[in-house]
Chain A
């Protein structure tokens, strides 16, 4: 049972490039979410999904897109990378959107030059 798997672990991009951060979970969780973590700050919610085909915005959605075509996968797309998007990105999942703890992946460390 792998839990929440994020790929890649590290990535360096140039300003203006696009890329997709992958997230997969094998726990049959309905709820999935993406956070970013910047130095000295807690995690901030980017986008989330309560089930396949349903997504919604979090606190800091600008510059990011998501889709949820399957229960297992929840990719995060950067359309045109900017230096302000340099961060560590975490994907998390939980059985439902109700009061349950989320399980996190180990993150993708992204640098935008």
Chain B
């Protein structure tokens, strides 16, 4: 079946290290992908997006990589800070609708 899923449900990193959160998708027709951050008790917050005609996009301390060959998406966070602790969701645009993965909980150890 089609799915947007994450390889790891939890990720623990040391403050200052780089974090990598992975996401797999199975629909090669998806043409738009988004990463969201969700803190406890809040709604998802947009981090970065990427279109399928791109392989890489960078923002402030974040980079999204798209590998269409293996249908894989990743979010890299540089110099991870305690404020980065949250659940991170990837989402793909499929037939005009945004389909979310389950989420990865990122925990940053001081």
Residues of chain A having any CB pair with chain B under 8 Å = 4, 33, 35, 40-45, 48, 58-59, 90, 92, 97, 99, 101-107
- Say yes or no: A42-B43 contact (C-beta < 8 A), given A48-B97, A101-B49, A102-B98: no
Distance between Cα atoms of A92 and B49 in the complex (Å):
16
Q: Is B97 in contact with A99, judged by CB distance below 8 angstroms?
A: no
Nearest-neighbor residue (CB-CB) of B96 within chain A: A97
Distance between Cα atoms of A58 and B36 in the complex (Å):
20
Nearest-neighbor residue (CB-CB) of B51 within chain A: A99
Distance between Cα atoms of A48 and B6 in the complex (Å):
25
Interface membership of chain B positions 72-110, coded 1 if the CB is closer than 8 angstroms to chain A and 0 otherwise: 000000000000000001010100111111110000000
- Say yes or no: A40-B102 contact (C-beta < 8 A), given A101-B34, A103-B46, A106-B42: yes
Residue from B34, B41, B43, B49 within 8 A of A90 (CB atoms) = B43
Give chain B's interface residue range (CB within 8 Å of chain A).
20 to 34
Distance between Cα atoms of A43 and B87 in the complex (Å):
12
Distance between Cα atoms of A111 and B100 in the complex (Å):
23
B45 close to chain A: CB less than 8 A: yes
Distance between Cα atoms of A59 and B101 in the complex (Å):
14
Q: In angstroms, how far is the closest chain B Cβ from the Cβ of A82?
A: 23
Q: Is B97 in contact with A45, judged by CB distance below 8 angstroms?
A: yes
Distance between Cα atoms of A48 and B103 in the complex (Å):
22
Mark out the residues of chain B between 15 and 74 whose CB falls within 8 Å of any chain A CB in the assembled complex.
31-32, 34, 36, 41-46, 49, 51
- The interface residues of chain A lying within 8 Å CB-to-CB of B97 are 45, 48, 58-59
